[in-house]
Structure 1
Amino acid sequence: MSTDTITREEIAAVTAETLAGELKIPAADIAADDVLRDLPGADSMKMLRVVSKLERRWDVEFEDEQIFAVKTVDELVELVRKGIGDELAGS
């Protein structure tokens, strides 16, 4: 994977697909401004699994404080984007 060509749209698409798979809902039903805890079927364990899958997918790791501060889908996308950017800066 060439990390220097990752777009925010790609991160958003992967995030929506990951959420959809974990929550068993269509990705098309997930909007950027949706509150994560309000998504159908969402609970803390499923959200932690989503974050874990995103960390593995993008080879990043988030601090607990960062994860618990995220409220919306868009904030989760932004957290991943920043994490990938930090990884690039560190390479």
Structure 2
Amino acid sequence: MTTESATTRAEIASVTAEFIAAELKISAAELNGADVLKELPGADSLKLLRVVSKLERRWDVEFDDEAIFGARTIDELVILVERHVSGDLAGS
């Protein structure tokens, strides 16, 4: 199990970038936190939902649909994951 102290924002950002890159068949090095998810090369709704599903399984969390669709950028998705992993859902 992952503890709050063991899961850093950097780790969440790294894993999120890896999952996005793998799903879209691009290099994680090409990704920037400010990148708009829907504008990434090869991105479509199904591929992005697969990424979200992998993130949910990775950290054993479940995201609210409204929160998922509200995340426009990679950074916003990382923040969403971070809040769920830490249990701080007041900001979502």
Q: TM-score, normalised by structure 2?
A: 0.91
Aligned to 1:68: 69
Distance 2:2 2:56 in 1: 16
Aligned to 2:51: 50
**Contact 2:12 / 2:81 at 8 angstroms: preserved in 1?**
yes
1:16: how far off? 0.1
1:85: how far off? 1.1
Q: Which has the higher helix share?
A: 1
Structure 1 runs (4+) greater than 4 angstroms displaced: none
Distance 2:3 2:76 in 1: 20
Deviations 1:40-80 (A, max 9, x none): 00000000000000000011000110001000000000000
1:2: how far off? 3.1
- Aligned 1:1-91 pairs, distance under 5 A: 1-4=1-4, 5-86=6-87
Aligned residue type for 2:2: S
What is the aligned length? 87
Aligned residue type for 1:65: E
Aligned-residue RMSD, C-alpha: 1.1
Deviations 1:10-54 (A, max 9, x none): 000000000000000000001000000000000000000000000
Give unmatched runs, 5+ long, in structure 1: none
Distance 2:2 2:58 in 1: 13
Q: TM-score, normalised by structure 1?
A: 0.92
Give unmatched runs, 5+ long, in structure 2: none
